[in-house]
Structure 1
Amino acid sequence: MAQQLTIAQRPDFGTQGARLPIHANVYEITSFGKDTIHHYDFKIDPEVPADLGRQVFGALENRQRHKAFKGSFPVFDGKFNVFSPVRLALQNNTGSFEVYLPRDEKRRQEAPQGKGPKPFKVTISHAVEINLALLHEFIAGRTGSSPPVQMAINALDIAFHHLPASQYPSAKNSFYTSAEKRPLSGGIEVWSGLFQSVRPSLGRLVLNVDVSSTAFYAAGPLLDSAAKFMNLRSPSQLTSLREADWRKLHKWAKGLPITVSHRSDGRTFKVKGITSRGADRTMFKLRQDDNTEIDMSVANYFTKNLNVRLNYPELPCVELKRGVMLPLEICQVASGHRYRRKLDENQTAEMIKFTCVKPSDRFNRIRKNAEQLLRFEANPYLKAFGIKVGRELLTVAGRVLPPPTVIYGATSREPTIRPRDGSWNMRDKRLVMGADLPSYGILVLDRQSEQNSRMVLDFMQQFNNNLRNMGIRVPSGRPQIEFGHPMQDMGSNLRKAWDSGRKAFGALPKIIYVVLGSTAAVIYGEVKRISDTQMGAPTQCMQIKHLRRPNIQYMANVALKVNVKLGGVNSYLEPRDTPFLAREPTMVIGADVTHPGPGNTTDPSIAAVICSMDSRMTKFKSQVSPLPPRTEIIANLEGTMAQMFQAFRNQTTQLPRRILFYRDGVSESQFQTVLTHELGAIKKAAASFYKNSVPVTFVTCQKRHHIRFMPAQANRADRSGNCPAGTVVDRDITHPKEFDFFLQAHGGLQGTSRPTHYTVLHDENKFTADSLQVLTNQMCYLFPRCTRSVSLCPPAYFADLLAFRARYHRHGRVESTDDDAGSTISTAAQNQPTALVSVVDRLTSTLYFM
């Protein structure tokens, strides 16, 4: 068993950069008690989902408030854990209870003896005492993190979340209200709410509060929701749907929460599916009073037995568990149920429009909702735990780091540039090393016409001129355009374009331009799968709408991508700005693991590793590999790193003398495990190349958090209202002892910028806070496909893109992507294990995935 390593401790605080007072979306927890919290195991039989579990706990709480609960206010996490500020009055520290929900009381009273709803059986058992004195020692910086400290933080987290989660629909640390809901297409709507989480910092605890939004099913008649999903003007049009449309509707309705209009108890049911026959043709056996059975349709039963007249008896039925059939029109979509499926392209755009607000509006929403919904002072659960919260959001000490000098080709009119606000442009600049492009192919996946041919030729003429002006050598002959159908064999389409390029220019094409008439991921994914894993020729996809009205900025951005795909170099940083990279041979590594979509248990997780091969961080070597589903540890990292060490030596004739490893996608709970296994793998690989190993610094990058910043002084904000590019925060809200910082390296475009949270898990290169923060910020200006600094350090960003691309490298077509940059394959292949196909080796030394 690998020995656990100690997480790196903060060496000092940073001082470089101009000081910037910043509003952070955190409240100070001014008091949280010094006594003991009692942790209880809580079991409900039968097991229930969290929202129902909270109802069971609430019913038990109402009955036992002044009995077992001794007048106190314990809190429940919705699953298995209860935390109490006092020891409960339980015999031998264990209690068993039978609990009826309020909704069942009437049915219970009306039911015959021995009939009616059954109670939930609840067992509470004392598990452990949590000493809050340990938490006080931890935030004072006198002790390190430990399981008891983490449990204390978790207990306080649940104390904050308990009341709102009992009153509103909730998920993890967020809860939502319908007060400001907005409709989305497809019969769903977006609800807003609040996220809250307790975080430790030096000398205090803080409560991170942020606005949060998610999709819900739109309550109302199921007929209306079905019509909206199918983009119909009225429910009456459902009568004319084809069989394929009903299959689509069946898939959409599965799992939908509904109530029924002929029942008065408001009970919620989940849809199992939609039948293939109408209610007037769906038959069942009805038992008569004399125990004989007759055949009756669902429509007739509702008309004759329940006196419910149906307007659309020809529409299919809704099927519930145990074969229960209900006419579509008597069903209502229940209110307050989250939509858990992936949003489509239109819904995603609508959601972004609703949630994208500038920092001042976001912070005003936080203050307003915290006052109206959280109401800290009136919360009896917080009072019971001795928790008090400050009235104002904290102002923290930030700094703005200076940008580096970006260098372009020596023949440029402006070979060096000092970016402002995290951005610059390509005016008067040539690339450091323009690629040689002797030949190329063109494939148009759209309708073949003279107009489209002329449009593509006109664009390519302008684009090639742009490439030449930037320093890329392009042939002067007329290109041959090939048209193809996107649903035809993509390999044949691409090879046809490749052959035409070879004939037109008399040389082997180095790239194929693919003009897409559709934004469907299935088409893009198939293009990349064939080109990356079979042909070994990079492709550059372009939407046809961009070719109709090309602009210089679009062509410049495409040119930047084309050059690095062909092995060229766009720009680099002034070596004096990056001494860690320039003074000794250094390898900077990015690594990430992406996982298959929700419910997909067969497709692999994918690990991506990419390593720099030169001091300018312009040459790279990459590798992707499959992992068992949902695995976070990069199991084969030792073998990957051995190949990377050899590749570095082949490129530079020497081995790297130090390593800086940026690991993306790791949650705080996984820090120790990932560090132990992956640092160990790097060291094992190094043992075959070094006598005394090589110093490694291991840094995690987290974007999935809720910390946001806004300048305390409006005149210090950038044009979007965000903090300036290069803003760093390493005190006031960071870890009490560990080496972490928040860096917003990019300038804002729209909405509220999200800083990246970097945590150093291990450091053998003896970085100071300043040296690592400055280096990380400067590297964010090395993302080659745009003239802007980016939010995530490029090696980690590359690994994320690389893992995303690798999800296309499987047998079967890609249908859609999940929320972690993954994807799922065609329905026919979803239940079959899928193999990851290797990328053609020559591409792994280029940024083919840009």
Structure 2
Amino acid sequence: MAGITNFVKRPGLGRQGRLIKIKTNYFEVKFLPNFDIYHYDIIIIPEVPPSLNRKIFQTAAERTSYFGGISPVFDGRRNIYTANPLPFDNVTTFDVTIPEDNGVSAGRRPPRSFKIIIRKVDIINMEELQRFLDGRCPISNNIITGIMAFNVLINNKPSILYNKIGDSFYINQDSQPLYGGIEAWQGYFQSIRPTPGKMMINIDLRTTFFYESGNLVQLIAKILNRKSVKDLKISDRDHIKLEKFLKNLKIYTTSLGSRRRMKITKLTKTSASNTKFDIDGQQIDIASYFQNIYNLSLQYPFLPCVVARNKTFLPMELCNVVNGQHYMHKLNNKQTADSLKFTCKPPSARANKIEKGPNILNYRNNEHMQQFGLRISNECAVVQARILPAPELHYHPSSRNASFVPNNGSWNLRDKKVATGATLGSWACAVFGSERNYPMRAVQLFLRELITTCQDTGMNIPNKTPPILHCNHQGDIERSLRYAWIRAGNLAKLQPQLILCILPDIRVRLYVEIKRVSDTMIGVATQCIQGKHMFAAKKQYCANVCLKINAKLGGMNSFINPSQIPFITERPTVLMGASVIHPALCDDRPSIAALCASMDAKAFRYTASIRFQTSRQEVIADLAGMVKEQLKTFYMTCGRKPERVLFYRNGISEGQFNIVLEEEIKAIKNACQSLDITYRPTITFVVVQKHHHTRFFPIDNKDSDRTGNCFPGTVVETTITHPFEFDFYLQSHSGLQGTSRPTHYHVLLDENGFNPDSLQTLTYNLCYTYARCTRAVSIVPPVYYAHLVCSRARFHATGENWSDTDSTSEGPNYAVIKPELLRVMYFI
């Protein structure tokens, strides 16, 4: 079996923890075809979007003479698959004609003709796919194509019946109106996946957003938050907002003898009664034109007109919004809150809805599936899981219950002192607001409560009266912070350690500017606090702030019993976590890569490296340089070279595993040897995936927490995992609301000889070491920190616009973070 995979074969199954049975959102494929599948390439000329491609193909498929009674399945682009060969040798060509706008036109344009060229590509061998599932052969192009064919097969019918966005299908009946003229639609994601011995279909709920359909005037009233259409008075600001919202929206009219669809290009600057154009040498306004030509008296002549294709002017009240148009703009805070109420379903409700998926997606009566012989279970798969025990946590020995095992993934700081308290001697408080809104007395009372809490929690704060400065939140932020920094240093006669910033509200722009200036221009840690928390200084809130401050200043909040992380404590070992974040699809700003590495034997303290690289590039371009920086810092901190490296890599898809194995692992080894040609620490490289659709549902109430989710520590390594590679799902956190998402860990390289128990337990235990809170987190902390560093690096852009509108046209320039901050956990 040697050579069956480039990655790590599963070294067995874990045994630690309590065995339970849970449901997952996977459905077993009961029967796969035992005959070959035929793959064809299809070209439709002229080129059109996938949605129209499907209409063209459907028209062709309804003519049995073209395909000889065979029902091919089509991916909407270039591929079709059949269970039997089509009735031609290698290539065929024919023409298809479809009516304009799917038959709703009034005949202004003739039907459209398309040329279709179909060419035979390959025959997919199903027997090889089954051998792969049984772990008897490596993956091949034939197997990959076979899995693609089945995905096209299960998606073919829903693509015709429902609104398809990306890889999901949305149903108009299952929707919820949101604020501002949009609505949330819920639908289904489905994907066929290889698992040990069989194929499974992963079905999950998905939600996305659409423009509300109906009359355009009613939509505009909702966009502008007017109670009724009578209240519509379009200001210049409203006009800009509407034009941005409505641009490229598809509309149709029903009052003018046609239902032809058109796209909005812009709005007129003037109202329908004041917008004039020439007709037969005479000037006439739009309202009068529709009165004279169509005998239509406009109800809202004071509204601007829509400008559609070919410079067609249409009064808004005659326009209707086409149903099912995807809304792709960023949601505002109210829309986000409303959508969460709609989407955040408890596990039992989510499971019930997922179990309806096979019927809604039409598995049983699907003629295409029947032709391919595919049979699918209607019940969620039940899998074996284990609940791993929580680790023992340690606080300062003077704490009450200094050592304890957390219950259900969370604990509190009551009567506890941090394991190592930092000293805060040189600091200042910058209040971004007027003294009238934030009186000096109120600020002093808050600082007294914060200082008391920090000292009770084990920090040392000799300077209890830091300078307090009121700053203009709309003024020169850099100047204000520099002045606070100088005041702190002068008063304490020490290098300033921290600027505490009190913000008037959650203004993104102010917060971003504070972090940009402190990180890249001054080189001092900052801790931001919302003003509303200052006026109600609860001890729990102050304790959470204390955790962040202590970690930023080099303290240690808590640690795991060293016997429970022997891989780290027995020999010098570095944990590394890497992440890359990308700009939006329509944005060409650089991608940001970050690497965080542990600097102590308790795996609490981390330092960071950051790089900016080509937009949307997933592989980290200068990983060798980043690893080299972290290895040097480890040596300077610990006095020894790490003998072992455990590297967690976030966000890699399965299709990128090979290139990451080749390039990033090579970069890690090159970094080691660039320091010393003989330096070869053993490396374990684990991919961490959070963006997937696997969910766990408890069967027995005793196996669920108060939110109905599985308990922290639930691990699954059979039935729904890879047929033979070393991967597992771990739900390490307790649920807060909705259905928790486990994290998928996949080992690509293992020179350290982990077995399932040792890697799963270590990974789970590390989730209790996250510095910012007293909860086990959902993803291993080195990766969590790397993601925080990436997100913070976005703030280091000059020329960036952090409102809800697009960034500046010139694009941002990224400043470099001060070196002294890279050696501390400034990002916490």
Aligned-partner SS, 2:116? strand
What residue is the counterpart of 1:831 in the other structure? Answer: 809
Q: 1:358-507 maps to which residues of 2 (within 5 A)? A: 358-371=346-359, 373-449=360-436, 452-502=439-489, 505=492, 507=494
Aligned-partner SS, 1:52? helix
Aligned-partner SS, 1:248? helix
| Counterpart amino acid of residue 55 in structure 1 | K
What residue is the counterpart of 1:197 in the other structure? Answer: 191
Residue in structure 2 matching 1:347, options 326, 335, 339: 335
Aligned-partner SS, 2:377? strand
Is residue 2:86 matched to residue 1:88?
Answer: yes
Mapped partners of 2:162, 2:152: distance in 1 = 15
Q: Kindly tell me: are residues 127 and 265 of structure 1, through their superposed partners in 2, closer, same or farther at Cα, counting changes over 3 Å?
A: farther
What residue is the counterpart of 1:242 in the other structure? Answer: 235
Mapped partners of 2:702, 2:755: distance in 1 = 31
State the shift of 1:502 in Å.
4.2
Could you tell me whether the CA contact under 8 Å between 2:432 and 2:472 is conserved in 1? Answer: yes
| Counterpart amino acid of residue 832 in structure 1 | E
Residue in structure 2 matching 1:548, options 519, 523, 535: 535
What residue is the counterpart of 2:622 in the other structure? Answer: 636
| Counterpart amino acid of residue 747 in structure 1 | S
Aligned-residue sequence identity (percent) comes to 37
Mapped partners of 2:256, 2:561: distance in 1 = 73
| Counterpart amino acid of residue 615 in structure 1 | A
Mapped partners of 1:296, 1:435: distance in 2 = 77
Q: Kindly tell me: are residues 639 and 103 of structure 1, through their superposed partners in 2, closer, same or farther at Cα, counting changes over 3 Å?
A: closer
Mapped partners of 2:250, 2:472: distance in 1 = 40
| Counterpart amino acid of residue 137 in structure 1 | R
Mapped partners of 1:766, 1:101: distance in 2 = 64
Equivalent pairs, count: 825
What residue is the counterpart of 1:815 in the other structure? Answer: 802
Q: Kindly tell me: are residues 219 and 764 of structure 1, through their superposed partners in 2, closer, same or farther at Cα, counting changes over 3 Å?
A: same
Could you tell me whether the CA contact under 8 Å between 2:425 and 2:463 is conserved in 1? Answer: no
Aligned-partner SS, 1:662? strand
What residue is the counterpart of 1:820 in the other structure? Answer: none
1:338-379 Cα deviation digits (max 9, x unpaired): 1112212221121111111111111011113433x1231111
Is residue 2:819 matched to residue 1:841?
Answer: yes
Q: 1:213-232 maps to which residues of 2 (within 5 A)? A: 213-232=207-226
Could you tell me whether the CA contact under 8 Å between 1:227 and 1:235 is conserved in 2? Answer: yes
Residue in structure 2 matching 1:701, options 684, 688, 707: 688
1:194-247 Cα deviation digits (max 9, x unpaired): 1111011111111111111111111122222222222222233332x3212211
Residue in structure 2 matching 1:255, options 243, 248, 251: 248
Q: 1:66-85 maps to which residues of 2 (within 5 A)? A: 66-85=64-83
Residue in structure 1 matching 2:789, options 802, 805, 821: 802
Is residue 2:104 matched to residue 1:120?
Answer: no
What residue is the counterpart of 1:822 in the other structure? Answer: none
| Counterpart amino acid of residue 441 in structure 1 | A
What residue is the counterpart of 2:175 in the other structure? Answer: 181
Mapped partners of 1:807, 1:745: distance in 2 = 28
More deviation in 375-384 or 68-77?
68-77
Alpha-carbon RMSD across the aligned residues, in angstroms, is: 2.1
Aligned-partner SS, 2:813? coil
Could you tell me whether the CA contact under 8 Å between 2:520 and 2:796 is conserved in 1? Answer: yes
Q: Kindly tell me: are residues 265 and 401 of structure 1, through their superposed partners in 2, closer, same or farther at Cα, counting changes over 3 Å?
A: farther
What residue is the counterpart of 2:666 in the other structure? Answer: 680
| Length-normalised TM-score, structure 1 | 0.94
1:160-188 Cα deviation digits (max 9, x unpaired): 11111111101232101122211111110
More deviation in 220-229 or 359-368?
220-229
Mapped partners of 2:442, 2:99: distance in 1 = 68
Could you tell me whether the CA contact under 8 Å between 1:107 and 1:117 is conserved in 2? Answer: no
What residue is the counterpart of 1:100 in the other structure? Answer: 98
Could you tell me whether the CA contact under 8 Å between 2:157 and 2:362 is conserved in 1? Answer: no
Mapped partners of 1:447, 1:99: distance in 2 = 70
| Counterpart amino acid of residue 19 in structure 2 | R
Mapped partners of 2:439, 2:335: distance in 1 = 30
State the shift of 1:758 in Å.
0.6
Mapped partners of 1:794, 1:265: distance in 2 = 59
Q: 1:668-747 maps to which residues of 2 (within 5 A)? A: 668-688=654-674, 689-691=676-678, 693-747=680-734
Mapped partners of 1:121, 1:800: distance in 2 = 48
Could you tell me whether the CA contact under 8 Å between 2:60 and 2:66 is conserved in 1? Answer: no
Is residue 2:160 matched to residue 1:166?
Answer: yes
More deviation in 268-277 or 565-574?
268-277
Could you tell me whether the CA contact under 8 Å between 2:575 and 2:646 is conserved in 1? Answer: yes
State the shift of 1:504 in Å.
5.4
Mapped partners of 1:398, 1:88: distance in 2 = 46
Aligned-partner SS, 1:393? coil
Is residue 2:274 matched to residue 1:281?
Answer: yes
Mapped partners of 2:669, 2:373: distance in 1 = 48
More deviation in 403-412 or 86-95?
86-95
State the shift of 1:309 in Å.
1.9
Q: 1:562-573 maps to which residues of 2 (within 5 A)? A: 562-573=549-560
Structure 1 portions without partners, runs of 5+: 818-825
Q: Kindly tell me: are residues 761 and 265 of structure 1, through their superposed partners in 2, closer, same or farther at Cα, counting changes over 3 Å?
A: farther
What residue is the counterpart of 1:623 in the other structure? Answer: 609
State the shift of 1:406 in Å.
1.1
More deviation in 190-199 or 470-479?
470-479
Aligned-partner SS, 1:48? coil
What residue is the counterpart of 2:150 in the other structure? Answer: 156
1:792-846 Cα deviation digits (max 9, x unpaired): 00001111111011011111244158xxxxxxxx75x533243221111111111
Aligned-partner SS, 1:363? helix
Mapped partners of 1:327, 1:297: distance in 2 = 11
State the shift of 1:422 in Å.
0.6
| Length-normalised TM-score, structure 2 | 0.96
More deviation in 480-489 or 328-337?
480-489
